[in-house]
Amino acid sequence: MNSVLIALILGGLTGFLVKQRKAILKHLDRITFYSVLALLFFLGFSVGANDVIVKNLHSLGLKALTLSIAAVLGSVSASWIVYRFFFKSRE
Amino acid sequence: MKSSIVIILFFAAGIISGLLMNGSDLSIGSGMSDYALHFLLFLIGISIGSDLKVFKIIKKLHFKVLLVPVSVIIGTLAGVAAVSSLISDVTLNECLAVGSGFGYYSLSSIYITELRGESLGVIALLSNIIREVITLIAAPVMLAVFGKLAPIAAGGATSMDTTLPIITRYSGKDYAVISIFSGTVLTVLVPFMVTMFL
């Protein structure tokens, strides 16, 4: 099984066991945010340290960026329709 | 918004460190990001496990949850098809294949490099990394304009792992289960869809 899923399931079990201990859960959001910062730093590191990416950044980067923006805009627009008609009302 | 700026600064600092370290032992970076990712997923697990109402929510949602990955597929393909004519030397099918990575850059770029060569492989790698980075950076903006499913849709296949923390942070814990579901479906589909277009 995927090790990422295992980490998630272990966390889930831990959360179930500590759910009465509000003192632990209070800090969860802040620790999560710090972990996001660490992850982004390391993601940046692997981009900067990868020769293939760095050397091709100029010629291929613009094409990649165009496709990324188009893909994201298309996705969020489609999701807005689904959200508007199927999800929003239950809140 | 302040947190997004902090995130960009950390990402930029990472790139600069990576450039400075270029040529030395690169396994440190990817090894550390694996640890950070697993730790994050563990934390997300805690927040889900300590609040079990999410499982009641997914029961209530039933078929509607399927619409989330379906909308990501339709939206992504429509988006890249719309701009494919602007991109020189890349065919419509090649653009659709790059889009079908849904942010899962490692797998999609390997497939595409094998089927169409290195330059499209690099475009796939960059494009799908950028998709992940856009999601991490712009999640609060997307949420404000397009609603709570938007960060999940933008994250694509990554909404089950790397972008899940930021999605949970902005869309809320209730959407974490939808996010994992959508990301899992898309992750499984990536190899099939990429090869279908090439």
Domain spans in chain B, listed from the N-terminal domain onward: 52-197
Q: Is residue A38 part of a domain?
A: no
How confident is the model at residue B25, as a pLDDT? 59
Q: Is the pLDDT of residue A91 over 60?
A: no
Q: What is the 3-state secondary structure (H, E, C) of B174-193?
A: HHHHHHHHHHHHHHHHHHHH
**Chain B contact present for A1, CB below 8 A:** no
Q: Label residue B119 exposed, middle or buried (CB < 10 Å: 0-12, 13-18, 19+).
A: middle
**Chain A contact present for B126, CB below 8 A:** yes
The total domain count for chain A is 1
Q: Is residue A11 part of a domain?
A: no
Q: Is residue A32 part of a domain?
A: no
Here the tokens at position B52 are 């079990």
Neighbours of B52 (CB within 10 A): 13
pLDDT tens per residue, range A43-63: 778 778 878 777 777 878 899
> Distance between CA atoms of B38 and B116, rounded to whole angstroms?
33
- Name which of A14, A45, A73 is nearest B46 (Cβ-Cβ): A14
pLDDT tens per residue, range B117-175: 778 988 998 899 899 999 999 999 999 999 999 999 999 999 988 899 999 999 998 89
Global confidence as pTM: 0.76
Span B33-48, average pLDDT: 80
Asked if B162 and B192 touch (Cβ cutoff 8 Å), the reply is no
Range(s) of the domain holding residue A88 = 51-91
Put simply, the chain A residues between 28 and 87 with a CB less than 8 A from any chain B CB are 28-29, 31-33, 35-54, 56-57, 60-61, 63-84, 86-87
Q: Is residue A23 part of a domain?
A: no
CA A1-B11-B13 angle, to 5 degrees, is 130
pLDDT tens per residue, range A6-37: 887 898 899 888 887 777 777 887 888 888 78
Q: In angstroms, what separates the C-alpha of B68 from chain A's closest C-alpha?
A: 7
A to B CB pairs, distance under 8 Å = 298
